[in-house]
Amino acid sequence: MANVLLASIGVVQIVLATDFGPEATAAVAVSQRVFFVLQASLFGLATGISALIARSVGANQLLQAAQTVQSAMLLGFIVSTSVGALCYVWASEIASVFNLEGQTHSLATNLIHWVCIFNPIYALNIVLAASMRASGDAKNPLLLAFISSVGNWIGSAALAYGWWGLPAWEVEGLAIGGISGSVLALILYTLLWRIGKLRVPYPDMSAFRLKTNKILRVGTPSAIEQTLMHVGFMVYMVAIAHYGSDVLAGYGLGLNILTMITLLSLGFSMASAVIVGQYLGRGEPETAEKYGWKGWRLCIGIMLGAALIFAVFSQELAQLLTTEKAVQTYTALFFTVVAIALPFIATDFALGGAIRGAGETTYPLKVSMISLILVRFIMPFVFLEMEFSINTMFLLTALDFGIKAVFMMYYFRSGKWKHKAL
């Protein structure tokens, strides 16, 4: 639920962008891809954070868990600020990669600038939420997501349309106002942690070097994996952009809805990681495996239901998102094709989360690299050269997650992850 709330921010922003034309919608779609690339390294580090905190909590070592949170906050701030600064400097060149021209290029560049400036705020929220979930606390991350999402929805609309006497900054207002709730949530939950109101206490003693080294050792492979995955999505979007602004806008709208649905799978991934990590910390690997399979079955059921909705109501969903007829056509097409991918996404996320929760982050990285190089970096441009239809290009999403699903199921069944030492 928390992940769906957070993903809904992007949906709200890109739907609002349709009021300002296809160029604005395409610019927002591009800036959102850049946003996910920037956040990818933090999601990867969050995997390392979750594995370490879950093991510590399972072994009832709360001081070690608290020290890990403290080190993660500092590391998250340093990484997000550094990456954001580099992206800010190269914003125009990044926008140019998507073959954007004129007003669309200018809008995308400005939106990327705002994404880079706000990157540390988003990053610290990710670290806090991951830390709370790893301790077994699912309620506070949900409240954090609710505050962030509602605040960002309202802020985006208020500064885009000029509500309550505020300036009407149109498309840029979506990005500037879209940080309001995140700032509020970060301040509130940092204070709650500092005064000892969260399950993981604020540490009396710091251990920055030791804990940071552990986070980096476990989290770096996942950080690389997540970064490569979103770079792959961005490269894929570059290929999509060759089909025109309408196709790019349709893909951007569809991708936001897909992201919101796949974040349900990410919720099960996080749950599996926490439960597996805690039971391994207690010395109960067979119980950890049992819950890993339970999480997968639940996730598969939900994704099959979502796939059915996508397949049957693709046109109706597209009409809800935009009034542009050409964009509607491509959005509906994307929904129809991507329904095939949802069960694969469920398997990759649920079982992959369990594997990462055990601290095994190198194997998923290897699998992702194979899939990304083949399906995201090579095949899209081969398809362009061979002048394949956009239908075939969209099918690559299913192929990408299908490859990863097969490997994740094989490795989880092997049980090798049960013996991973942290």
Which residues 6+ apart lie within 8 Å of 127 measured at CB?
42, 45, 46, 49, 69, 72, 73, 76
Domain ranges in the chain are 2-419
- Based on C-alpha coordinates, what's the Rg of the chain? 21
Element (H, E) at 189: helix 180-194
With beta carbons less than 8 A apart as the criterion, state whether 378 and 232 touch. Answer: no
Tell me 99's DSSP state. T
pLDDT in tens, 173-217: 988 998 999 999 999 999 999 888 888 888 877 767 777 777 777
Written as six digits, the tokens of 364 are 């998923």
Q: Is the pTM of this model over 0.85?
A: no
C-alpha span between 265 and 409 (Å, rounded): 15
The mean predicted confidence, pLDDT, of the chain is 86
pLDDT given at position 70: 86
pLDDT in tens, 302-323: 899 989 998 899 889 888 888 8
pLDDT in tens, 125-134: 988 888 888 8
pLDDT in tens, 39-83: 777 777 777 788 788 888 888 888 888 888 888 888 888 889 998
pLDDT given at position 114: 93
Higher pLDDT, 366 or 207: 366
pLDDT given at position 387: 86
Is residue 168 classed as helix, strand or coil in its secondary structure?
Answer: coil
